[in-house]
C-alpha cells in the first residue's frame, strides 16, 4: 500500500491520533522508543521513508510566550523561571533534556525519540507525555511538523538550528535534533530481539487495517 508524495502529509495527520490510542493501550505515555518503532513499521509498510531521530523539545504555554515577548528574553536561570510562573503562570516543559538525577539510567536519560518522515516532516508520536492541563498545555494528538519550506531546513537536519512551531493549546513547540544520539538502538523496545517485538508488529498491523478501512469508506463516499 504505497502512498504518493502528495498524500503523505495528510496520511500522517489522519493516522497519528488513532495510532497513538492503539499504542497507549499497551504502553505508558513516556514510551517514545516503542512508539517510534511502531510508527516506523507502519510507514515502512506504506513505503513512506522515515528515520528515527533523537530530539530535544521545549513546550511553552501562552503565558510563557507572552512574558518572553514582553521581557524580550527567555528565563536566565531557575529563580527567574520560578518568578515568571508565580507572577503570570508562565510554564515550559522539556523532553529530551538530561535529568540530573544520578539514578537515571544512561540509556534513557535525556532521550526523546521521533521520526523524520520523507525528509520533510517531524512526527512525534509520544509528545502527549508532556501534556500539563494544569498549566494550560493540553496535548491530545501526536505532533506533525512540516519543515519542508523552512529556510533553515538543512541546518535543522544537521542539529545546528532549532525550529519553532505554533502549538495550538500550548503556545509554542521548539524542536532541535541531536544527530549523534543513537542510544535508542540499544533500547529493548527498539531491538529486534526485544520482548515486545510481536506486540509492536501487532499494533502496526492494527493501524494499517484501520487505515485501509478509512480508505474504503472514503472511496465509497466519493462514488
DSSP secondary structure, 119-188, as one string: TTEEEETTGGGG-BGGGTB---S-EEEE-TT-TTHHHHHTTS--EEEEETTTEEEEEEE-TT--GGGGST
What integer is the mean pLDDT of 113-127? Answer: 96
Do β-strands 50-60 and 121-124 pair in parallel, antiparallel, or remain unpaired? unpaired
The per-residue pLDDT for range 151-185, each reduced to its tens digit, is 999 999 999 999 999 876 669 999 999 999 999 99
Q: Is the pTM of this model over 0.75?
A: yes
Q: How confident is the model at residue 223 (pLDDT cuts 50, 70, 90)?
A: very low
> What are the domain boundaries of the chain?
5-222
User: Is residue 188 a contact partner of residue 65, using CB atoms and an 8 Å limit?
Assistant: no
Neighbours of 78 (CB within 10 A): 8
CATH of 5-222 among 3.40.50, 3.30.70, 2.20.130, 3.10.550: 3.10.550
Assign 101 to helix, strand or coil. Answer: coil
Name 95's bridge partners.
Answer: 57
How would you label 173-189 residue by residue, b for 16+ Cβ within 10 Å and e otherwise?
bbbbbbeebebbeebeb
Look up residue 200 and give its three cell numbers: 509492536
Q: How confident is the model at residue 221 (pLDDT cuts 50, 70, 90)?
A: very low
H/E element, 70 = helix 62-71
How is residue 73 annotated by DSSP?
S
The per-residue pLDDT for range 132-150, each reduced to its tens digit, is 999 999 998 999 999 999 9
Amino acid at each position: 500500500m504505497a502512498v504518493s508524495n502528495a498524500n503523505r502529509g495528510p496520511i500522517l495527520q489522519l493516522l497519528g491520533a488513532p495510532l497513538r490510542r492503539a499504542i497507549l493501550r499497551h504502553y505508558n505515555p513516556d514510551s517514545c522508543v516503542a512508539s517510534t518503532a511502531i510508527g516506523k513499521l507502519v510507514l515502512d509498510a506504506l513505503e513512506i521513508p522515515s528515520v528515527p531521530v533523537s530530539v530535544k523539545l521545549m513546550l511553552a504555554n501562552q503565558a510563557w510566550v507572552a512574558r518572553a515577548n514582553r521581557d524580550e528574553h527567555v528565563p536566565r536561570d531557575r529563580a527567574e523561571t520560578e518568578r515568571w510562573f508565580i507572577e503570570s503562570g508562565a510554564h515550559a516543559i522539556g523532553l529530551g533534556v538530561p535529568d540530573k538525577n544520578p539514578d537515571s539510567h544512561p540509556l534513557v536519560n535525556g532521550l526523546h525519540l521521533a521520526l523524520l518522515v520523507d525528509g520533510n516532516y517531524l512526527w512525534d508520536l509520544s509528545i502527549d507525555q508532556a501534556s500539563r492541563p494544569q498549566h494550560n498545555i493540553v496535548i491530545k494528538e501526536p505532533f506533525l511538523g512540516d519543515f519542508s519550506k523552512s529556510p533553515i531546513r538543512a541546518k535543522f537536519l544537521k542539529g545546528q538550528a532549532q525550529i519553532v512551531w505554533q502549538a495550538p493549546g500550548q503556545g509554542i513547540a521548539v524542536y532541535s535534533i541531536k544527530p549523534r544520539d543513537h542510544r535508542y538502538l540499544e533500547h529493548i523496545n527498539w531491538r529486534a530481539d526485544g520482548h515486545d517485538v510481536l506486540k509492536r508488529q501487532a499494533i502496526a498491523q492494527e493501524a494499517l487495517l484501520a487505515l485501509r478501512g478509512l480508505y474504503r469508506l472514503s472511496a465509497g463516499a466519493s462514488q
